[in-house]
Amino acid sequence: MAALRVALLQQPLAWQDARANRDAFERLLQPLAGGTDLVVLPETFTSGFTMEVATVAEPGGGPSAQWLLRQAALLDAVVTGSVITAHEGCYYNRLLWAQPDGRLLHYDKRHLFRMAGEHEHFTAGRAAWSVSWRGLRVCPLVCYDLRFPVFSRRRKELEYELLLYVANWPAARADAWQQLLRARAIENQTYVVGVNRVGTDGTGIGYAGDSAVIDFEGRTLLAAGAHAGVFSAELDPVTLAAFRQRFPAHLDADRFTLDS
């Protein structure tokens, strides 16, 4: 079984300018055609992490969703990231999962970052889900979700081999970002990919990047550091399966249910 090729786009974001962000990412995506299976963009990649939702929100299936589907078809890869989305009078921090076959899935961020007032402007999502993609089952989540291990715990109802986080995670809490990515990998015996932005947003908050790929034993396969760039890694499902069989800690995990 072939390894899954993942591209991480760690970039600055133009504040509340969807077209500028799409154009900038498109230039970076073009050289990846035929060379990757999964492209990961940051959280709110069209706008930055703004609370001015009425100004920047797009409808479901709007311009950025259509752009993601076009890029996925051109690259023959999934392209994913989150977009501030309006639906039936509510606003969501919505991760869009665009496949090259035209399928578009979404996950609405469950844990809203109250320290920035996100819970006052957005509606929380509900359950996490996973989807099979070229040999790995992927669970995509958003930023602050990283701090809540029970929600993302690998279990019968939520099986995966790759836990994915898109983020706008400030530099002030960079140590927490790095440690929590590693913790999620170890406790779930899974690959973890975290993609963060760099630069300074329109409120003056700085972001240090530190996008990373961590393996199922907590070892760092890729550390992007603080610079903008396109970074890549390969995730081997065979090695992961062998490790889980050799060290089946999941069989001793506690059973639990989550409230909706």
Catalytic residue among 43, 58, 118, 161: 43
Q: Can 43 be counted among the known catalytic residues?
A: yes
Domain ranges of the chain: 4-252
For 43, phi then psi, to 5°, come to -60, 145
Q: Any idea what the Cα angle at residue 192 is, between residues 49 and 164, rounded to 5°? A: 40
- The pLDDT assigned to 258 comes to 84
Cβ pair 240, 26 in contact under 8 A: no
Tokens of 249: 């800690």
Residue 143 falls in the annotated catalytic set: yes
Q: What is the DSSP string of 135-148?
A: TEEEEEEEGGGGG-
Say if CB 16 and CB 202 are below 8 A apart: yes
Say whether 37 sits in a helix, a strand or coil: coil
Report the chain (260 residues): mean pLDDT per 10 consecutive residues: 95 98 98 98 98 97 98 98 97 98 98 98 97 98 98 96 98 98 98 99 98 98 98 98 96 85
Yes or no: say if 12 and 49 are a contact pair by the CB < 8 Å rule.
no
Q: Which of 58, 109, 118, 139 is catalytic?
A: 109
Tokens describing residue 187: 């406790």
Q: Is 223 helix (H, G, I), strand (E, B) or coil?
A: strand
Of 120, 97, 99, the closest CA to residue 108 belongs to 97
User: What 8-state DSSP symbol labels residue 227?
Assistant: S
What architecture does CATH give domain 4-252?
A: 4-Layer Sandwich (3.60)
Distance CA 110, CA 125 (A): 4
Question: Under the phi-then-psi rule, with left for phi > 0, alpha for psi from -120 to 50, and beta for the rest, what region is 41?
Answer: beta
pTM for this one?
Answer: 0.97
Cα 214 versus chain centre, distance: 14
C-alpha–C-alpha distance, residues 12 and 171, integer Å: 13
- Separation of alpha carbons 219 and 222, rounded Å: 9
Helix, strand or coil, per DSSP, at residue 202: coil
> So what's the pLDDT on residue 96?
98
Is residue 30 within 8 A of residue 153, CB to CB? The reply is no
For position 228, what pLDDT does the model report? 98
User: What is the per-residue pLDDT for 1?
Assistant: 77
156 catalytic, yes or no? no
* Residue of 58, 139, 143, 161 marked active site: 143
Write phi, then psi, for 7 (nearest 5 degrees): -115, 130
